Amino acid sequence: MLRRQFIQSSSLALAAAAPAADDDAAWLKIREEQFSLPDWRAYLNTGSVGAAPNRVVKATNDYLAQGASYATDQYPRWGYEPMDAHRTALAKFLGTTKEELALTHNATESMSLIANGLDLKPGDEVLITDQEHPSGRGCWLLKQARTGIKIREAKIPIPPDSADQIAEALLSQIRPETRVISFSGITTHTGLLFPIQKICAAARAKGVITVVDGAHLAGQIPFRIDDFGCDVFAGSLHKWMLTPPGCGVLYVNKNFQSKLWPTIVVDGWQNSKDAVKYMQLGCNNRAELEGTLEALRFIEELGPQRIYDRIHNLAQYAYTRAKQVPYLKVLSSSDPALYGGMVAFEVDRPDYAPLWTKLAQRKVWTLRGPKIRISSHIHTRRSDIDLFFDTLKEVFG
Ligand SMILES: Cc1ncc(COP(=O)(O)O)c(C=O)c1O
Interval between CA 236 and ligand 1 midpoint (Å): 7
Three-state secondary structure call for residue 104:
strand
In CATH terms, is domain 16-45+304-396 a member of 3.90.1150.10? Answer: yes
189: number of Cβ within 10 Å: 21
- The continuous run of DSSP H or E covering 72 comes out as none
Q: Where in the chain is the domain with CATH 3.90.1150.10?
A: 16-45+304-396
Q: How far is CA 107 from CA 27, 36, 122, 125, 247, in A?
A: 29, 26, 26, 22, 9
Ligand 1 atom, smallest distance to 49 CA: 10
Q: How far is the CA of 135 from the centre of ligand 1 (A)?
A: 6
Q: Map residue 135 onto helix, strand or coil.
A: helix
pLDDT in tens, 322-373: 999 999 999 999 999 999 999 999 999 989 999 999 999 999 999 988 899 9
pLDDT per residue over 11-70, tens digit each? 445 655 689 999 999 999 999 999 999 999 999 999 999 999 999 999 999 999 988 887
User: Do residues 251 and 87 lie in contact, with contact meaning Cβ atoms separated by under 8 Å?
Assistant: no
| Sheet containing 125-129, strands listed edge to edge, beginning at the edge strand earlier in sequence | 101-104, 248-252, 232-236, 209-213, 178-184, 125-129, 150-154
CA 107 / ligand 1 centre spacing (Å): 6
* Three-class DSSP category at 394: helix
> 84-296 domain in CATH 3.40.640.10?
yes
Ramachandran area for residue 157 (φ above 0: left; ψ -120 to 50: alpha; else beta): beta
Share in percent of the chain as helix, strand, coil (round to 5) = 45, 15, 40
Give the global pTM.
Answer: 0.95
Q: What are the residue ranges of CATH 3.40.640.10 in the chain?
A: 84-296
User: pLDDT at residue 157 above 80?
Assistant: yes
- Please tell me the distance from the alpha carbon of residue 214 to that of residue 62, in angstroms, as a whole number: 30
Q: Which atom of ligand 1 approaches the CA of 48 most closely?
A: 14
